[in-house]
Amino acid sequence: MEINKIIILISIVMLILFSIGLVSASDSGDELALSNDTDVINYHIEDLDENEVISSPDVGNDELNSASNPDSFIVNKRNFKMYFDGTNTLKKEYGGSIIVFDGKFEDMGTVTINSANTKITGRHALFNNTVFNLKADGIMLTNIHFVLNKEFSTNDNAGILIKSDNITVYNCIVDYNVPCEKTGFAIFSNGEDWGNEGVNLINNTINYVGRSYGSGFNYGILLTETFNATISGNIINCSLPLRAVDWNSEIYGGSSMDFAAAIVADTCRYLKLSDNKIYANVNGVREGEPTLDTLLIYNCNDAIIENNLIRQTDYVTKKGDVNYLYGLDMYLSSNVIVYGNDINIFTNGGKEAHGTAYPIQITGPARNVSIAFNNIKSYSNGPNIGIYSQNFYGETQLSIISNIINITGFASDHSWALVAGIEVQDSHDLILNNTIDVRSVNEFKTGYNLYGISYSQQTRGAHSFNIQYNKVKTTGDWAIALMGGATSPVINSIIANNILNARKYGGNRAALISGGFGSVKNNTDGSKHVKKTMSENDYPDYLKIYLKRSSHDNNGIDFSWISNTDGNSLKNPKTPHPSQSSDIHQGKSNFHIGVNKIYTKSDVNNGNVNSTHYIPGESGISLAGASSSSGHAISSQPKSYEVTKTIKNPDETSYIQVIFSTIFSCLLLIGYKKREDIEDY
């Protein structure tokens, strides 16, 4: 009998130990492992309870517990208030951490991050009419999809508001359909209080619709008082209104004199804008002298604008109606490099002597502006100029080198009915090695203002030009014409070593200098070689410096904390979107007028917007559609926190085994007690 008691007791102890072991085994799961591409633990989000707080556990790796690897927290709609206070501001105790948003967040107003060095990412995270205010140094916002159709006046009218230094917005999608006659910006870096420093907008996609025809401002991206900013690798698709410009302060009214643009930078020294695809499509017009800028640069010294694809189209304005279109519109900016861009404008609008379709406009004063190796094309039924600049407000000095320029417009004998590849009303210009073709949509007659290179509209002061090594073809009387006046003479100018072909004549006979003095020599019609050719020594010094340096660094931004499962390096912010293969090669363009596809709402919902040019439709972007398709819309983007090895939750079978083991132990005890009672009886 004693032996039976001992056996039963041993069995009970073994069953209890077995049950405890099952629980421990279930809790521990597989051993945690680090991803090859990151020093941050990769969690399997599907296996985590929505209310569970996840932080980096102690797995014996000192690197995980160092300051460079902060805790990570998964935030969803149900546990949001655990991490954010009543004003939707991140609680201080979670500042400096990695915040992973999971799922959909709708109509929550503004989410504020005011803790430095906080990293925010999303896993198929969708924010419907919920916006961000980033107001502490070192914040990174990545892999978030915004779908907005309201005005956010309490967030400076922005979907993403930047109010501090060294902030990076990377790989986000902002679909913003701004309400009619309201102000809205997809991304706004507002440094007007203290000045923002080191802002980076990299590899984002913005689909923006603005309809402020009579009031409000519509900008896809706005930067004010932001220094050392980088805008790189983004796709910006904007559908915008034509608006009259506010000239009350002449050119000194700041960028706000223009009411609509895809990108605006105002007082942003050391701006770098590179490798972006920027589209501006006209969606309507209501008033005045209807104007639209694709890229507006105001008072931004020491800027680099390189390797961007810039497209502007106006299918709304009809032939005979006036519109004013500008690809790159730059004011009061010196020491600027405009290099390797592909800039195109197309419209059926325009009429004789009214309107513009200028791929590049420079308004001085400006010094050391270099426009080099760009591909420029424009078509309209009104005045049309590939590169236009003037010194009405102060001395302007440009270098225009090795561009390909194709221009078609409506020319006549009216002084404003000007069609030209380059019209420079400047103080001192260097114009070298450009290839220019200029044509008129109407029948040309003698005396019409159509030129390859010209100074034809007089501005005060003396004007000096060095024009060499260009290849110019026009359907007008002159390939090159410099025509000064009594108070605006041409001085010390040279037209030499060019290949020139006009309607009737070529070579020296196709060039003109009047109203001043200069020399015309060694120009041919191409039937024989020019006597001298251009060399790199002819470049201005500031262009030489630019060409020698590497322009494709990553600005020291560390993306290694973002898990990558697509096999592409995230450590270099120059990595383009999958849709973004570069078609910009010095002097070569793949652009053909009229072939850009206009995408429908169904294309957006099926995730096709990342494959090519998307212009939002008139109906705007559907919140419901975007919500249901958010997985498709961001499927091509790197996913954060994918599994390397999973953290397993307790298995259902493990719990069942524990329960049965416990019940069996109780039955043994009851059985043993009854048997003992019977034996005693």
Q: Rounded mean pLDDT of 481-485?
A: 95
Domain count, the chain: 1
Rounded to whole angstroms, what are the CA distances from 576 to 142, 143, 171? 15, 14, 10
Q: State the Cα–Cα distance between residues 346 and 311, nearest whole angstrom.
A: 8
Q: Rounded mean pLDDT of 292-302?
A: 98
pTM: 0.76
Q: Is a pLDDT exceeding 80 seen at residue 52? A: no
Name the pLDDT band for 10 (thresholds 50, 70, 90): low
Q: Is a pLDDT exceeding 60 seen at residue 594? A: no
Containing 20, the helix (H) or strand (E) segment is helix 2-28
Q: Rounded mean pLDDT of 370-380?
A: 98
Q: Is a pLDDT exceeding 50 seen at residue 570? A: no
Structural domain includes residue 667: yes
Domain holding 24, by residue range, is: 2-29+648-680
State percent of the chain over pLDDT 90: 65
Between 654 and 155, name the one with better pLDDT. Answer: 155
Name the pLDDT band for 507 (thresholds 50, 70, 90): very high
Dihedrals φ, ψ of 604, to 5°? -65, -45
Q: Is a pLDDT exceeding 80 seen at residue 15? A: no
Structural domain includes residue 665: yes
Lowest mean pLDDT among 14-18, 185-189, 572-576: 572-576
pLDDT digit string, tens, across residues 379-405: 999 999 999 999 888 899 999 999 999
In terms of Cβ atoms closer than 10 Å to its own Cβ (0-12, 13-18, 19+), residue 397 is buried
Structural domain includes residue 652: yes
- Identify the pLDDT of residue 240: 98
When computed from its CA atoms, the radius of gyration of the chain, rounded to whole angstroms, is: 33
The structure tokens 């390859």 sit at 452
Name the pLDDT band for 565 (thresholds 50, 70, 90): very low
Lowest mean pLDDT among 309-313, 479-483, 563-567: 563-567
Name the pLDDT band for 587 (thresholds 50, 70, 90): very low
Containing 473, the helix (H) or strand (E) segment is strand 471-474
Name the pLDDT band for 4 (thresholds 50, 70, 90): low
Name the pLDDT band for 549 (thresholds 50, 70, 90): confident
- Assess whether the previous peptide bond of 359 is cis (omega < 30° from 0): no
Q: Is a pLDDT exceeding 70 seen at residue 138? A: yes
Dihedrals φ, ψ of 456, to 5°? -120, -25
Structural domain includes residue 655: yes
Q: Is a pLDDT exceeding 80 seen at residue 131? A: yes
- Identify the pLDDT of residue 35: 28
The structure tokens 């032996």 sit at 3
Q: Rounded mean pLDDT of 66-87?
A: 83
Burial of 455-487, coded b for 16+ CB within 10 Å and e otherwise, reads bbbbbebebbbbbbbbbbbbbbbbbbbbbbeee
Q: Is a pLDDT exceeding 50 seen at residue 491? A: yes
Q: Is a pLDDT exceeding 50 seen at residue 528? A: yes
- 409, 380 in Cβ contact below 8 A? yes
Lowest mean pLDDT among 117-131, 509-523, 621-635: 621-635
- Identify the pLDDT of residue 58: 31
- Can you say whether residue 586 is alpha, beta or left, with left for phi > 0 and alpha for psi between -120 and 50 degrees? beta
- 302, 333 in Cβ contact below 8 A? no
Name the pLDDT band for 422 (thresholds 50, 70, 90): very high
- Identify the pLDDT of residue 673: 54
In terms of Cβ atoms closer than 10 Å to its own Cβ (0-12, 13-18, 19+), residue 160 is buried
pLDDT digit string, tens, across residues 227-274: 999 999 999 999 999 999 999 898 899 999 999 999 999 999 999 999
- What mean pLDDT is reported for the chain? 79
Q: Is a pLDDT exceeding 50 seen at residue 141? A: yes
- Identify the pLDDT of residue 561: 84
Residues facing residue 150 across a β-bridge: none
Structural domain includes residue 660: yes
- Identify the pLDDT of residue 391: 87
Structural domain includes residue 435: no
- Identify the pLDDT of residue 205: 98
Strand (E) positions, 41-136?
A: 72-75, 98-113, 119-134
Structural domain includes residue 654: yes
Cα–Cα nearest to 584, from 295, 368, 341: 341
Q: Is a pLDDT exceeding 70 seen at residue 563? A: no
Cα–Cα nearest to 319, from 271, 274, 352: 352
Name the pLDDT band for 624 (thresholds 50, 70, 90): very low
- Identify the pLDDT of residue 659: 52
- Identify the pLDDT of residue 560: 83
Cα–Cα nearest to 210, from 603, 608, 615, 595: 615
Lowest mean pLDDT among 353-362, 413-422, 432-441, 598-607: 598-607
Between 100 and 672, name the one with better pLDDT. Answer: 100
Dihedrals φ, ψ of 139, to 5°? -75, 140
Neighbours of 63 (CB within 10 A): 10
DSSP letters, 606-618, are TTGGGTS-----T
Q: Is a pLDDT exceeding 60 seen at residue 464? A: yes
Q: Rounded mean pLDDT of 657-666?
A: 53
Q: Is a pLDDT exceeding 70 seen at residue 362? A: yes
Q: Which residues, other chains included, contact 273 with Cβ-Cβ below 8 Å and sequence gap of 6+?
A: 230, 231, 232, 263, 265, 295, 303, 304, 305, 306, 308
Q: Rounded mean pLDDT of 428-432?
A: 96
Amino acid symbol at 87: T
Q: State the Cα–Cα distance between residues 392 and 252, nearest whole angstrom.
A: 13
Containing 9, the helix (H) or strand (E) segment is helix 2-28
Between 638 and 485, name the one with better pLDDT. Answer: 485
Half-sphere exposure of residue 372: CA atoms within 13 angstroms, side-chain side = 20
Q: Is a pLDDT exceeding 60 seen at residue 43? A: no
Q: Rounded mean pLDDT of 540-561?
A: 79
pLDDT digit string, tens, across residues 102-124: 999 999 999 999 999 999 999 98
Q: Is a pLDDT exceeding 50 seen at residue 378? A: yes
pLDDT digit string, tens, across residues 186-199: 999 999 989 999 99
Structural domain includes residue 574: no
Amino acid symbol at 335: N
Helix (H, G, I), strand (E, B) or coil at 677: helix
